[in-house]
Amino acid sequence: MSKIKPSKGAPYARIMGVGGYRPTRVVPNEVILETIDSSDEWIRSRSGIATRHWASDEETVAMMSVEASGKAIADAGIAPEQIGAVIVSTVSHFKQTPAVATEIAHRVGAGKPAAFDISAGCAGFGYGLTLAKGMVVEGSAEYVLVIGVERLSDLTDLEDRATAFLFGDGAGAVVVGPSQEAAIGPTVWGSEGDKSETIKQTVAWNDFQIGDVSNLPLNSKGEVKFPAITQEGQAVFRWAVFEMAKVAQQALEAAGISPEDLDVFIPHQANMRIIDSMVKTLKLPEHVTVARDVETTGNTSAASIPLAMERLLATGQAKSGDTALIIGFGAGLVYAATVVTLP
């Protein structure tokens, strides 16, 4: 028989607070049209995006995360020192080490928590939320700060007509803590690595080192392009609409609820057409509030779900205690869906 004492965590976990940060600069489609041959009407019809936020030099991954985290901690009604772990999901923190989570933990006043970064693309927030739930229930941390943050403007090829208009910057954060009732459902998550080339970085960092650039892509000025995110649009659209609707349905079933029981649907803010198609495929009732933050925020990858959640609560479109289905999906291809009670 094992001599190890069992962990003593909470019976359940819940989202206790949420916060968001959007960069001050708002970028309309007209700015994007300066570098691609397109139109505002085409961009809106293809993506539903009218504006997005782009970060200044001062609005770093860490700075945006600290701002969002401060709001989430205050919203949760706890002291920063009570944070036992910090999880940051991002693909746009360019320092390989140390993890930006350690800097954020220090700057929010969290003391000496566990702190680490994860890379799971647009499903990153769902991955982080699942890890946080496990920590709280297992007992390794009473409160966990989960952050989704991106500066995708740094990884955008402004001459790529297929992606130049898609991406934005921002940070969203939540505090996960103990609960006496189930408030974060089972996660349905996974990956389809055979489709990993569908969304990818154009050039690996080591290929971008000074040396032979003959095989690297060039911009219209003949200069070597900085690595950027590219995707096969139609393949991603079909996968997201048909396969992710199935995953969302599985998450509902795992939580033991039906579409009629839902109050809110918060999908990854990738594209308005994808969102609307998923709503139709899932046959969501008219009373369900659907997050459509993509129109003014663009695709912020790991930040999109917490940012959309924060805006729905701040504007009164959703309220504390509502039952929400969240689903993230993207590069990998990876996905994560769960049902939560809103803070």
Report how far residue 160's alpha carbon sits from residue 84's, in angstroms, rounded to the nearest whole number: 42
Helices and strands (DSSP H and E) totals, the chain? 10, 14
Report how far residue 207's alpha carbon sits from residue 337's, in angstroms, rounded to the nearest whole number: 35
Please identify which residue in the block is written with the tokens 């920063």. 80
Please identify which residue in the block is written with the tokens 């495929």. 281
Angle between helices 272-282 and 244-255 (to 10 degrees): 50
What's the chain's Rg over C-alpha atoms?
20
Catalytic residues: 122, 268, 299
- Locate the DSSP E strands across the chain: 12-21, 25-28, 51-54, 83-89, 114-118, 143-151, 169-179, 188-191, 199-201, 229-231, 264-267, 289-290, 323-330, 334-341
Report how far residue 339's alpha carbon sits from residue 257's, in angstroms, rounded to the nearest whole number: 9
N residues, the chain: 343
Report how far residue 163's alpha carbon sits from residue 128's, in angstroms, rounded to the nearest whole number: 26
The answer to whether 120 touches 103, Cβ cutoff 8 Å, is no
